[in-house]
Chain A
Amino acid sequence: MNPLIEMKNISLRFGGNQALSDVSINLYPGEVVGLLGHNGAGKSTLIKVLSGAYKSDSGQIFVEGSEVKINNPQDSQRHGIETIYQSLALADNLDAVANVFLGREKINGVVLDEDTMEIEARKVLDRLRVKIPSLRVPVSNMSGGQRQTVAIARAVYFKAKVLIMDEPTAALGPEETQKVGELIKALKAEGVGIFLISHDLHDVADLSDRLTVMKNGRVVGTVNTKDVSEDEVLGMIIAGTTPKHLANK
């Protein structure tokens, strides 16, 4: 089976800073890959290359086996890649409906088709089993969990094959974190491939099938979650070396 996503030998330089050097990573359908590393390890940069926010200097990206060029966010979305950013890429002053459809509004001629968008947004949020009382208030009035759900709804509505989640639970309380965890499992069961990015092992360990650790813009190693102990992963994150017997592609 072809991987859903394969990034090969990605390098990217910002001025004098080698942000990514020769990074390769892949993701299979229905799989959750945790991307770990300290702040500045290159996790977010790598993900921004995949989501079209940055353009790599060299390297290749394959989606379901065929090479693609991703020059901007639209290219990425067209290939079924949806990203949920750490900063929660929501426009706080707009309501949930507007945020779910931001950049891809349904229109009737030149006029926004608000009714259809509201119905569709309601449907997708129901599917995610999350109660949001009013879809027509600014998302700034919502709780962290509700906002995260709006961001996820956005990805789900547009039939993401690949979901990138940057620190999805960093701003959430325990109850809401659990809820997002359930959402991730549900999406995984539907065959969506998910990259979970975090600097904290505990955020991702329970949900991930595999873990890829990065340090200083390079991949330290990729391991099956069930084969490693917490200490071994921490060792990879801190020391930047993989125990040889665990190395796994």
Chain B
Amino acid sequence: MQNVQTNQAPAVRRSLLQNLGIDAQLLTMLAAIVMVWIGFQIWSEGLFLSPRNLWFLAVQSAVVGIMVGGMVLIIVARQIDLAAGSILGFTAMVMAVFQAPPPNGLGLHWIIALIAGILVAILIGSINGSVSAYVGVPAFVVTLAGMMIFRNLTFSLSNVTITPLNETFQILGGGNNGSIGPLWTWVFGLAIAVLILWQTLAGRLRRQKNGFAVRPMWAEALVTGLTLLIVLGFVLVMNAYPVPGTDPPVGSGIPIPVLIALAVLGFLNWMTRNTRFGRYIFAIGGNPEAALLAGINVKRTMLFIFMLMGFLTAIAAAVQAARLNGATPTVGRDLELTVIAGAVIGGTVLSGGAGTILGAGLGALLMSSLENGLGLVGVATEQQKIVIGIVLLLAVIWNTVSARWRKG
């Protein structure tokens, strides 16, 4: 009977959000970020939303942004990675030792250093993954051990800062010459805009051809228009911050680390929605037994998730080391908690099965915005952490309560 009713009155029952076809949670995230930004803009008397600060905010978000998508996949599959910060520290140190000139380092080519770091991190990820998946030790314990082991292996490798790094390698950090310039920023923005328009149109036509429901035209136009505006705003802001010391001022454009983070998040977002691997991660999180009985290789999938996390950690380590022009043995300390917090604020559920890459990306941006804004208005580091902790708690309460509402 229930079904019949629903079939009779589909138009009436569609809410505004359903018409827009956007996740309510994503919208909440966006609203929260806008509110935080406006708040800091007022509090900082106009400093927060300056091109300079937003450009730096983007760079500050990059490291967590690169890792947060991987953490989402791990948590969705009912796992956790507490070792990510230590692995980042160790990998950064490996990259630094490989390329720094003697006597501090080995003086090898920066590409060799980068590849060595990536291989090391993937290897560590595969160890975490196989001990969790094949031996059956909970990932919490495996990565808790990893957290201690790799932090202290980092100290064993060097208990002093290893510097300097190769100048080309430093571009990864977004410092000198580390941005793509105004022209390429426009090219990038246009390419993204074309991609969005093409995807929207092609998807709509395809769905209509198959007789599936499509969003009302006005909703489609509104959502696409807003997305394009965000892209345009991003391009304008990145180009409005001039390269320091240029006269007349030359726009910086998108910093390389931000480009990397966007590429990583874009790829992971696509992967979770469009590939078997992505689908299986969510199936495992939703019902591991069902996944197994459906013939999904659960253990191998888990191994791959941890290897992917290792890879992303290495990329983040390269960016971090390049930004600092070196590696300190404490780099990345507590970073796993920031990454987990970003994922959770972005709507990832710790019991598994639910989470989005886009939401987590926004979660990472929100965390960085708080850190940046509180720093800007002169709140001490310790008090910043208190605020961020409270925001995390509120976010999780909100997620829990709103999930209960949705269930009815």
Q: Is A248 an interface residue (CB 8 A)?
A: no
Tell me whether A112 is interfacial, beta carbon within 8 Å.
Answer: yes
CB distance from A138 to the nearest CB of B (A): 8
Verify B287–A85 contact, CB threshold 8 A.
no
Q: Are B295 and A51 in contact (CB under 8 A)?
A: no
Per-position binary interface string of chain A over residues 99-112, scored 1 when its CB falls under 8 Å from any chain B CB and 0 otherwise: 00011110100111
Residues in A with CB closer than 8 Å to B285 are 93
Within 8 A of B (CB), among A111-136: 111-112, 115, 118-119, 131-133
Most chain B beta-carbon neighbours within 10 Å: one of A91, A98, A102 = A91
User: Interface-forming stretch among B119-127, B204-212, B317-325?
Assistant: B204-212
Known: A115-B210, A143-B2. A89 touches B295 (CB 8 A): no
Cβ contacts under 8 Å, A170 to chain B = none
Contact B294 A89 (CB under 8 A): yes
Within 8 A of A (CB), among B264-294: 274-276, 279, 282-283, 285-287, 289-294
Chain B interface bracket (under 10, 10 to 19, 20 to 34, 35 or more) = 20 to 34
Give 1 or 0 for each of A63-101: 1 = CB within 8 Å of chain B CB.
000000000111001000001010111111110001000
Chain A residues positioned under 8 Å from B10 (CB to CB): 133
**A73-B293, A83-B293, A102-B294 known; A93 vs B282 contact (CB < 8 Å):** yes
Main secondary structure of the interface of A (DSSP, over half): loop
Q: How far is the CB of A44 from chain B (nearest CB, A)?
A: 12
Q: In whole angstroms, what is the CA distance A85 to B291 when docked?
A: 12
Query: Whole-angstrom distance from the CB of B47 to the nearest CB of chain A?
Result: 42
- Looking at the assembled complex, report how far the CB atom of A52 sits from the nearest CB atom of chain B, in whole angstroms: 8
Given the interface pairs A118-B210, A131-B4, the reply to whether A105 lies near B289 with Cβ below 8 Å is no
Inter-chain CA distance A203–B242, complex, in Å, is: 76
Contact of B296 among A85, A103, A115 (CB under 8 A): A103
* Distance between Cα atoms of A77 and B354 in the complex (Å): 28
Neighbouring A residues of B2 by C-beta, 8 Å: 143
Cβ of B354 and Cβ of A93 under 8 Å apart? yes
Q: Chain B contact residues: over half helix, strand or loop, or mixed?
A: helix
B6 within 8 A of A: yes
Verify if B246 is at the interface (C-beta below 8 Å from A): no
B353–A85 contact, CB under 8 A?
no
Chain A residues in 8 Å Cβ range of B279: 94, 98, 102, 105, 112
Is B7's CB within 8 Å of the partner chain A?
Answer: yes
Contacting residues, chain B, for A119 (C-beta < 8 A): 210
Contact A112 B275 (CB under 8 A): yes
CB closest chain-B residue, reference A133: B6
The answer to whether the Cβ of A53 comes within 8 Å of any Cβ in the partner chain is: yes
Q: Which of A51, A73, A92 contacts B286 (CB 8 A)?
A: A92
Q: Smallest Cβ distance from B178 to chain A, in angstroms? A: 33
Tally inter-chain residue pairs, CB-CB below 8 A.
83
Whether A73 pairs with B275 at a CB distance below 8 angstroms is: no
Q: Looking at the complex, which one of A51, A92, A111, A143 makes contact with B353 (CB distance below 8 Å)? A: A92
> CB within 8 Å of A: which of B178-216?
206-207, 210, 212
Quick one: closest B residue to A112, CB to CB? B274
B15 an interface residue at 8 Å Cβ cutoff?
A: no
A115 touches B289 (CB 8 A): no
Contact A91 B3 (CB under 8 A): no
- Chain A contacts for B206, CB-based, 8 A: 115
Smallest Cβ-Cβ distance to A115: which chain B residue: B210
Contact A91 B290 (CB under 8 A): yes
On whether the beta carbons of B4 and A94 are closer than 8 Å, the reply is no
Chain B residues numbered 132-177 whose CB sits less than 8 Å from any CB in chain A: none
Contact A87 B276, beta carbon cutoff 8 Å: no
Q: Do B293 and A51 touch (CB < 8 A)?
A: yes
- Chain B residue at smallest Cβ distance from A135: B212
Question: Closest CB-CB distance, B363 to chain A, in whole Å?
Answer: 19
Q: Are B282 and A91 in contact (CB under 8 A)?
A: yes
- Shortest distance from the beta carbon of A124 to any chain B beta carbon, whole Å: 16
Partner of A112, one of B4, B276, B354: B276
Is A111 a contact partner of B293 (Cβ separation < 8 A)? no
Q: How far is the CB of B168 from chain A (nearest CB, A)?
A: 33
In chain B, what residue has the closest Cβ to A107?
Answer: B276
* Closest A residue to B285 using CB positions: A93
Residues of A within 8 A of B289 (CB): 87, 89
Which residues of the partner chain A approach B212 to less than 8 Å between Cβ atoms?
Answer: 115, 118
Nearest-neighbour CB distance to chain A for B308, whole angstroms, equals 15
A74 contacts across to B, CB distance below 8 A: 295
Cα–Cα distance between A87 and B292 once the two chains are bound (Å)? 13
- Give the residues in chain A near B207, CB-CB below 8 Å: 115
A residues within 8 Å of B by Cβ? 51, 53, 72-74, 77, 83, 85, 87-94, 98, 102-105, 107, 110-112, 115, 118-119, 131-133, 143, 146
9 of the cross-chain contacts (CB-CB < 8 Å) are A73-B293, A88-B290, A90-B290, A93-B286, A102-B279, A102-B283, A103-B294, A112-B275, A146-B3
The 8 closest A-B pairs by CB, nearest first: A103-B294, A91-B286, A93-B286, A89-B290, A131-B3, A93-B353, A103-B295, A102-B294
